[in-house]
Amino acid sequence: MNKKILNLAIPNIISNISIPLLGIVDMALMGHLESDSYIGAIALGSLIFNFIYWGLGFLRMGTSGFTAQAWGRRDLPETILVLSRAAFIAIVTGALLLMLQKPIEILSFLVLKGETRVEELAMAYFRIRIWAAPAALGQFALLGFFLGMQNARLPMVVLVTTNVINIGCSYLFVMKLGMESNGVALGTVIAQYSGLILAIFFFKRYFGRLFRYWSLQATIKWEKLKHFLLINKDIFIRTMCLVVVFSIFTARSASTDVQNESEDTILAVNSLLMQFFMFFSFLIDGFAHASEALTGKFIGANDRLSLKRSIRLLFIWGTGISIVFTLIYLLGGNVIFRALTNNAEVIANARPYFFWVVLVPMVSFTAFLWDGIFIGATAGPEMRNAMLISTLVVFFPAYILAGWFMGNHGLWLAFILFMIARGVTMQVMSGKAVYKNIS
């Protein structure tokens, strides 16, 4: 079982690491241009797509859970039908994004304000990159399918290849052809379609035999499509809660009334400290993806014993990884600070809040793992309810009360309580949510 977990987790960890590398390269390319407006344009434009793709992330998560369950019960016709339903929704949604790109642009830049030059560059970036949306959504469906079929290596190859192509194209367009921020957007479009073509190639090579079970009538059968959409609606609500919490955290960090510190100082401090959370999430999220695949498989196979064993081992791995990260942060925090920035003032201002970061691994790993388990169990309503409780009953009251009296410490306290609440609420609901469809 440990081997199965690692075979699924390690490729996902590598995939996760490749994603922020792309963002670092994009920022570095813009940082070598003559104006910092290009950096602002990329940051502003990327926010729009982060919101869109976070919201539509259910296409990957829902697909992996349903596919894993169908694979577990050896229902091969259903595996291809799950993918075809996800692909159908991806095509329709991608087409709508292209048709509605002008209203999306207008609405986005009413909310996201920047200097005139930055907004102009960000709008140009948006108008190019939006054409990558159908390919990105198609990848969501295919990568979720691969993971549900217990294959994490194909998503790893697709994502790493996509990001390498993206980096290469962006470098060519920006540094050699002088396309500036538009070059980064065009590089993303080319990379996303290249990744989609590669994913389709892998599907045909390794799973093409499943096509004999496909039918259009079964794909668009309303009851099945409705069930798929309802589960994904719950995942969407869960994800939007997560977006709201992180958005409020960022907005509050930029507020000038946090302990009478300047907004630039607190925003820089919290942005720096949040990198420690991101480092941990890259690793633990690999095990969360493994839990999606294994949970769905064992539920589909009606194998209660293997399901319990996999969950137990996943939490052992999670505990061990959290302890290691806690020790790394305690013993090597100064080294990591200096690797992230050479700004002595930001480091000095961050030190009083560092103990919150040390708490992050141990208080948050259960939320990551239960997320994956609930997705594999297609326990959408329970996952949605757990997130709503954590957001509305825990985060917001803590944010209002502790933030008012404790400033930035209160903001971090609210975030820590939110992560604890996610883990606890899903733990409480797990008996019904995970084992409801297994005898």
Which pLDDT score, from 0 to 100, does residue 16 have?
A: 73
User: Nearest 5 degrees, angle CA 160-CA 71-CA 11?
Assistant: 20
Which pLDDT score, from 0 to 100, does residue 146 have?
A: 95
Which pLDDT score, from 0 to 100, does residue 259 have?
A: 47
DSSP per-residue string spanning 58-104: HHHHHHHHHHHHHHHTT-HHHHHHHHHHHHHHHHHHHHHHHHTHHHH
- The tokens of 379 are what? 């326990």
Collapse the DSSP code of 351 into the 3-class scheme (helix H, G, I; strand E, B; otherwise coil) and give the result: helix
Which pLDDT score, from 0 to 100, does residue 256 have?
A: 41
Which pLDDT score, from 0 to 100, does residue 19 have?
A: 65
Which pLDDT score, from 0 to 100, does residue 370 have?
A: 94
pTM listed for this prediction: 0.84
The pairs formed by 383-386 with CB atoms below 8 angstroms and a separation of 24 or more are 383/234, 383/235, 383/238, 383/426, 383/433, 384/234, 384/235, 384/237, 384/238, 385/425, 385/429, 386/422, 386/425, 386/426, 386/429
Which pLDDT score, from 0 to 100, does residue 79 have?
A: 92
* Residue pLDDT tens, the chain, 439 long: 777 888 888 887 877 776 656 666 666 676 666 666 676 677 777 778 878 888 888 888 889 988 999 999 899 998 999 999 999 999 999 999 999 999 998 888 887 766 777 788 888 889 999 999 999 999 999 999 999 999 989 999 999 999 899 889 988 998 888 788 888 889 989 999 999 999 999 999 999 898 888 887 777 777 777 878 887 888 889 988 988 888 788 767 655 454 455 445 676 677 778 878 888 888 898 899 899 989 999 998 888 889 999 999 999 999 999 999 999 988 887 887 777 666 677 778 788 888 898 999 999 999 999 999 999 888 888 999 999 999 999 999 998 888 777 878 888 999 999 999 999 999 999 988 887 767 6
